[in-house]
């Protein structure tokens, strides 16, 4: 149902028309205690300027002003009092059974991999591995420090490869790509033919279809774009290398801390058992004095 027209809208229009268009919109807004932007919007939508010039709307022509051929304003919703949509809640009408029994389809099969492209986000299921993959899976020993060092080595090699490609691009090498356009056409070929009656060999004209090159385009790729892309990859590889180095340093530091704590515990255990320390030294001195007296 259309919203009821605001009474301030008609008042604002009447005030402006009575002033001959001289009254400022901000003063109208202040008098009616409404935002100035709303008054400005009403002025544009209701065409106050046209009505002030005498271009009143003719009811027989709908929304088109008299004496003009301008575009009619866009209608905003149903007219006031329109009840065509009363009781309409949207959706299918009551009692409609067009979708009865439709469960929406079974969808893709379980573990469907039809959309697999590069395998970067592929889910690995252990029961789907072949014999070689299963043997490899069983032989892998997970050692974080060794894995990080292996990753660091591959990142160093990858960094060198990227730097080598950048050097090649900067040395003036250009990549040319040839695009060849071919079209299908009809052609006549001469085919040798031996007559079975006379035994003479003649050439028969036979129409065949073939491909003909119609256009060759050579495209020289931009070296600058390629260099910038390679440098972007290089920065990403170096960021990964820094993170891997930080992880290796953290693990080695933790291992050294645990080794030092283990050595201290071992030393305290020896002292508790009477090996070494001040008490042990005093006992040795007593034994030496007894030997002297003997």
pLDDT on residue 70: 46
What are the CB-based long-range contacts (under 8 Å, 24+) for 75-80? 76/45, 77/2, 78/2, 79/2, 80/2, 80/4, 80/5
Alpha carbon distance 69, 257 (integer Å): 89
Confidence category of residue 56, pLDDT binned at 50, 70, 90: very low
pLDDT tier at 104 (50, 70, 90 boundaries)? low
Judge residue 50's burial from the number of C-beta atoms within 10 Å of its C-beta, 0-12 exposed, 13-18 middle, 19 or more buried.
Answer: middle
For residue 217 the two structure tokens come to: 């385009």
Q: What is the pLDDT of residues 155-194, one digit of tens each?
A: 899 899 999 888 887 776 555 656 677 777 677 777 777 7
Per-residue confidence at 65, pLDDT binned at 50, 70, 90? very low
Write down the residue that tokens 């009692």 correspond to.
95
Residue whose C-alpha is closest to residue 40's, from 58, 27, 53:
27
Whole-number percent of the chain with pLDDT over 70: 69
Q: Mind listing the pLDDT tens digit for each residue in 202-232?
A: 777 777 767 777 777 766 666 777 888 888 9
Average pLDDT, the chain: 76
């Amino acid at each position: 149902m259309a919203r009821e027209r605001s009474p301030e809208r008609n008042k604002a229009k009447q005030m402006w028309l009575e002033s001959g268009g001289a009254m400022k919109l901000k003063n109208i807004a202040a008098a009616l205690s409404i935002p100035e932007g709303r008054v400005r919007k009403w002025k544009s939508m209701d065409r106050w300027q046209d009505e002030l010039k005498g271009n009143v709307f003719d009811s027989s022509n709908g929304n088109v002003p008299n004496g003009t051929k301008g575009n009619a304003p866009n209608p905003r919703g149903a007219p006031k009092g329109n009840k065509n949509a009363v009781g309409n809640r949207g959706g299918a009408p009551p009692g409609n059974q067009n979708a009865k029994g439709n469960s929406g389809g079974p969808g893709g099969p379980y573990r469907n991999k039809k959309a697999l492209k590069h395998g970067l986000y592929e889910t690995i299921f252990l029961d789907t591995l072949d014999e070689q993959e299963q043997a490899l899976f069983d032989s892998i020993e997970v050692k974080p420090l060794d894995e990080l060092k292996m990753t660091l080595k591959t990142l160093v090699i990858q960094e060198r490869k990227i730097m080598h490609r950048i050097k090649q691009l900067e040395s003036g090498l250009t990549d040319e790509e040839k695009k060849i356009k071919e079209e299908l056409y009809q052609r006549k070929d001469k085919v040798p033919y031996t007559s079975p009656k006379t035994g003479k060999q003649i050439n028969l004209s036979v129409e065949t279809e073939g491909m003909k090159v119609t256009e060759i385009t050579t495209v020289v790729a931009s070296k600058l774009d390629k260099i910038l892309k390679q440098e972007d990859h290089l920065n990403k590889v170096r960021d990964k290398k820094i993170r891997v180095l930080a992880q290796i340093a953290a693990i080695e530091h933790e291992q050294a801390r645990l080794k030092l704590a283990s050595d201290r515990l071992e030393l305290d255990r020896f002292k508790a058992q009477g090996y070494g320390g001040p008490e042990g030294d005093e006992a040795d001195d007593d034994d030496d004095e007894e030997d002297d007296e003997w």
